[in-house]
Structure 1
Amino acid sequence: MTSYITVRRETHARGPVAIVSIDNPTKLNSLSSEVMGHFVEAFRGLAADPDLRAVVLTGAGDRAFIGGANIDEMAELASPEAARVFILKVHGCCRAIRDLAVPVIAAVNGWCLGAGLEIAAACDMRLAAETAVFGMPEVRLGLPSVVEAALLPSLIGWGRTRRILLTGETFSAADARAWGLVEEIHPPALLFAAVEDLLDKLLEAEPQAVRIQKALIRAWEDLPVTGAVAAGVDAFEQAWRTDEPATSMARFLAQRAAAKRG
């Protein structure tokens, strides 16, 4: 059985990074049930690695990040119950990303449609090629945009969310950056150099602090302000259960003192 998911580990000076690729370019890296099963399995394996520092998610080839859910499979769904089972698999992929303890960077290198955009929205950060094209075309296929499309209003605002979900129109990488969906856009040949630059910045931070911070950001999404503040107090206390704060601040103070002497 072909998994259509490749996981490559890279060793950096401050810890390992995983590059996860949806590898089905002849189908625009679309998400079938088989692909989604292997996707969740791959992220389950990554979640078990206590030393992992970050994940980069991309699509194989230069045509697509993820072109959407597999339309051939959806067209054969025979009942509402089967439809529910299928869409829960899409949600399972998004949840695997959001529940992973370390940051996930989406490197959007082509078409990013439907379930692909939901996957991208579930990532912690998004960089895109200037040639990438985004959209939520489900309404043109008789379907609503669902599951992690619910993240879009917090990223691009309610007005733009309504427009792209209700019209199904596509939009450019430049629009995606202007709206706040992606943080950076680059020429295709430079996209992964920009990803490496972002990884370098992430790896400068302390690993346990980053894990605590990601978990706290996730909690903030579901909490009212007072609850979010309280969760932050808990997270600050949690950080002190490791030696990272003391070690990091001692190193900082020593470096500052050395700079003053110099």
Structure 2
Amino acid sequence: MQTLNPHCGVDRDPRGVVRLTITNAGSLNILGSAVINAVREGLELLAKDRQIRVLILAGQSEKSMIGGADIKEMAKLDQGSAEKFITGLRDLCEAVRAFPGPVIARMPGWCLGGGLEVAAACDFRIAAHDAKFGMPEVRVGIPSVIHAALLPRLVGWGRARWLVMTAENIDAPTALAWGLVDVVAAEGGLDAAVEKTVAALLECGPEALRSQKALLRQWEELPLKESVDLSIGVFGKSFLNEEPHRLMRAFVERKR
């Protein structure tokens, strides 16, 4: 494993698949300021590498991808330092959302609070059969903020309200039924489930996937007509490289 910084380890395979492992963050991979900044820096560095086709975000242990934000650090904050802390976490989540290629969250064990916000910023969430999810912030005197705003888009307003206002945890089958995660792996099969999604993504054109991800981000924020009209130019620009012709020719040849 290559070390990008004290909290980022990177494994690459010949297909262009990269696994970014959050390291040295405790057994539950807790997000303190040093970890937040290091992982964001790692993501921003990897984002420049156009050879990366799929990024897998993982934790060092099987207890969690990210257990949550560091309550010990937050307990010492005042208004100014609290805003600085949460701005750093926002920037980490945005680095995930802005990553050019598809990002898969590999989710064993616990995923709480800030960890679930990072996961929500990923494109795909694949959970272990016994994973647990929750937004416990109100129980420690703070609201759920920043990328918790993605939760209503994923699970609907009622379920998002339930998560952030009751602070009750949900299990993996419930998270799947709600749409919070995309896949729940069989027992012992988390990496196989991740690999199945990786294989599907590798069947797609890498430039097309980058364009599609960028469009999806804009669709989240634009009115419908603007979203439709914007897509026309993106479609045209996709023919500026050879990918559509190459993949379409291969498709036609297979059909003969």
| TM > 0.5 | yes
- Give a deviation string over 1:184-211, Cα, whole Å, max 9, x none: 1013421001111110110010110010
1:235 corresponds to 2:234: yes
Instruction: State the match for 2:110 in structure 1.
Output: 111
Q: Give the SS at the match of 1:222.
A: coil
- Give a deviation string over 1:155-191, Cα, whole Å, max 9, x none: 0010011111011111111110000011110134210
1: distance between equivalents of 2:19 and 2:133? Answer: 22
- Give a deviation string over 1:79-119, Cα, whole Å, max 9, x none: 21111110011111110011011000001011100000000
Deviation of the 1:7 alpha carbon: 1.5
Confirm or deny: 8 A CA contact 1:3 1:34 kept in the other structure: no
1: distance between equivalents of 2:99 and 2:55? Answer: 9
Q: Larger deviation: 208-217 or 179-188?
A: 179-188
Q: Give the SS at the match of 2:96.
A: helix
Deviation of the 1:50 alpha carbon: 1.1
1:9 corresponds to 2:28: no
Confirm or deny: 8 A CA contact 2:25 2:35 kept in the other structure: no
1:139 corresponds to 2:138: yes
Q: Give the SS at the match of 2:150.
A: helix
Confirm or deny: 8 A CA contact 1:25 1:61 kept in the other structure: no
Confirm or deny: 8 A CA contact 1:110 1:132 kept in the other structure: yes
The percentage of aligned residue pairs carrying the same residue is 44
Which one-letter code corresponds to 1:20 in the other structure? L
Q: Give the SS at the match of 1:55.
A: strand
Instruction: Specify every segment of 5 or more residues in structure 1 that has no aligned partner in the other structure, as ranges.
Output: 258-262
Instruction: State the match for 1:260 in structure 2.
Output: none
The ranges of structure 1 where at least 4 consecutive aligned residues each deviate by more than 6 angstroms after the TM superposition are: none
Which one-letter code corresponds to 1:246 in the other structure? H
Q: How does 1:140-159 map to 2 (within 5 A)?
A: 140-159=139-158
Q: Give the SS at the match of 1:112.
A: strand
Instruction: State the match for 2:195 in structure 1.
Output: 196
Q: Which has the higher helix share?
A: 1
Deviation of the 1:241 alpha carbon: 1.3
Instruction: State the match for 1:226 in structure 2.
Output: 225
Deviation of the 1:23 alpha carbon: 2.0
2: distance between equivalents of 1:21 and 1:110? Answer: 15
- What's the TM-score once normalised by structure 1's chain length? 0.93
Which one-letter code corresponds to 1:214 in the other structure? K
Which one-letter code corresponds to 1:139 in the other structure? V
Q: Give the SS at the match of 2:235.
A: helix
Q: Give the SS at the match of 2:69.
A: coil
- What's the TM-score once normalised by structure 2's chain length? 0.95
Instruction: State the match for 1:75 in structure 2.
Output: 75
2: distance between equivalents of 1:189 and 1:60? Answer: 17
Larger radius of gyration between Structure 1 and Structure 2: 1
Instruction: State the match for 1:44 in structure 2.
Output: 44
Relative distance call for 1:130 and 1:236 in structure 2 (3 A) is same
Confirm or deny: 8 A CA contact 2:43 2:96 kept in the other structure: yes
Q: Give the SS at the match of 1:48.
A: coil
Confirm or deny: 8 A CA contact 1:7 1:42 kept in the other structure: no
1: distance between equivalents of 2:43 and 2:90? Answer: 13
Count how many residue pairs are aligned between Structure 1 and Structure 2: 252
2: distance between equivalents of 1:175 and 1:103? Answer: 24
Instruction: State the match for 1:175 in structure 2.
Output: 174
Q: Give the SS at the match of 1:64.
A: coil
Deviation of the 1:247 alpha carbon: 1.6
Confirm or deny: 8 A CA contact 1:24 1:30 kept in the other structure: no
1: distance between equivalents of 2:98 and 2:25? Answer: 27
Deviation of the 1:27 alpha carbon: 4.5
